[in-house]
Amino acid sequence: MTRGARLAVWALALTVVASIIVPALARRDPLAIEDVIARRLLPPLATNPDGGWHLLGTDRFGRDLFIRTLLAARISLFVGLAGSVLAGVLGVLIGAVSGWSGRAIDRALMSLTDTFLAIPRLVLLLLCVALWSPGLVTVVVVLAATGWMSVARLVRSEVQGLRHTAFVEGARALGTLEVRTLLRHVLPNALGPALVAVTLGVGNAILLESGLAFLGLGVQPPTPSWGNMIAGGRDIIVTAPWVALAPGLAVIATVLLCTVVGDAFHQRLLGHARPPVDP
């Protein structure tokens, strides 16, 4: 792994640890709203009347933005990871069944994949989120339901390639059960590209989650997420730009780190650099 990728892994780990520890150390309840007039919209590095110091300033309700950005990191990182991993699991299942069974089942599943791919992911996401009540669980489920297609295609072609290799034929000749052959001999060899896709999908899922929250269709306030924090700074962008600045920079940094780690993972697992655009 290159130095940059190692640094990125450490930075991500630091973010996770900080998001767990720092809000727990806060003296005041980070969600509580008190003394709004005196504390609201303090610029970064300002001190409040009680002598408390705000690294990133405060929002319109006088809540500390540094603590809230870290609290939001818990939600955003969880949603990104859970959404991408669940999408990966779904994709592996569908791709493996499709590539292994062939014929009618394969054709049906690939038609399903093509149909989902024919609607832009963002539109599909909005459609699903709109129909069920917004919230953390909905967002994760919907991210999984709209993100499995590329993984399914990758796994399918890997499984198809492995179906007629000597060791799979050998396992069959020994009378191994169909399911066991698929799970023990085929899938472990087909997982590489799927793992890379899942890693790279985390950043994408974080971006989409923040977008949904920004539109008011994702994680709902008062629970902070980077997207709804940016939405909270939207109409005061000219008078208090720091409210939307901190969560935005947090999204950019996290997505950037995820991409760097994903690229390194690609290089290591598949032996060559990731092409700039995934086919």
Partner 1 sequence: MTPTLRRAFESALLFWLVVTLTFCLVHLAPGDATDLLVPPGASAADIERLRSSFGLDAPMWQQYVRWTSRVLAGDLGTSFATGEAVGDVLRRALPITLGLGLVSLALTFLIGTAVGLWQAQHAGSRGDRLATTIGITLFAAPSFWLALALVAVFTYVASRSGWPVWLRLPAMGVETPASTLNGLARLSDIARHAVLPVTVLSLIGAAGLARYARATALELLHSDWVRTGRAKGLSSGAVMRRHVLANARPPLIVLLALSLPGTVAGSVFVESVFAWPGMGRTMLASIGARDYPVLMGVTLVYAAIVIVANWLSDVATVWADPRRRS
- Where on the chain is the footprint of partner 1 (CB under 8 A)? 111, 114-124, 126-132, 203, 207, 210-211, 214-215, 217, 227, 230, 233-234, 237-238, 241, 244, 248, 251-253, 255-256, 259, 275-277
- Identify which of residues 56 and 182 has a Cβ nearer to partner 1 in the complex: 56
Residue 33 Cβ vs partner 1, minimum distance, rounded to whole Å: 24
Question: Nearest distance from residue 139's CB to partner 1, in Å?
Answer: 15
Whichever of 112 and 136 has its CB closer to partner 1, that residue is: 112
- Token couple for 182: 């698929």
Structure tokens at 131: 């129909």
Residue nearer to partner 1 on the CB measure, 14 or 123: 123
Give me 234's structure tokens. 């939207």
d(CA 77, CA 16): 8
- 231 alpha carbon, distance to own chain's centre: 19
Q: Phi and psi (nearest 5°) for 160?
A: -60, -40
Considering the complex, what minimum distance in angstroms separates the CB of residue 234 from partner 1? Answer: 6
Cβ pair 241, 230 in contact under 8 A: no
| Shortest spacing between CB 97 and partner 1, in angstroms | 19
Q: Name the nearest CA neighbour of 82 among 40, 140, 25.
A: 140
CB of 121 to partner 1, least distance (A): 8
Helix boundaries (H) for the chain: 3-25, 36-39, 65-101, 103-117, 121-131, 136-147, 149-162, 166-173, 178-180, 187-190, 192-214, 226-232, 242-270
Nearer to partner 1, 191 or 257 (CB): 257
Query: Phi and psi for 53 in degrees, rounded to 5?
Result: -110, 135
Q: Which residue, 100 or 214, has its beta carbon nearer to partner 1? A: 214
Residue type, 58: T
Q: Which is nearer to partner 1, 46 or 117 (CB)?
A: 117
In angstroms, what is the minimal distance from the CB of 120 to partner 1? 4
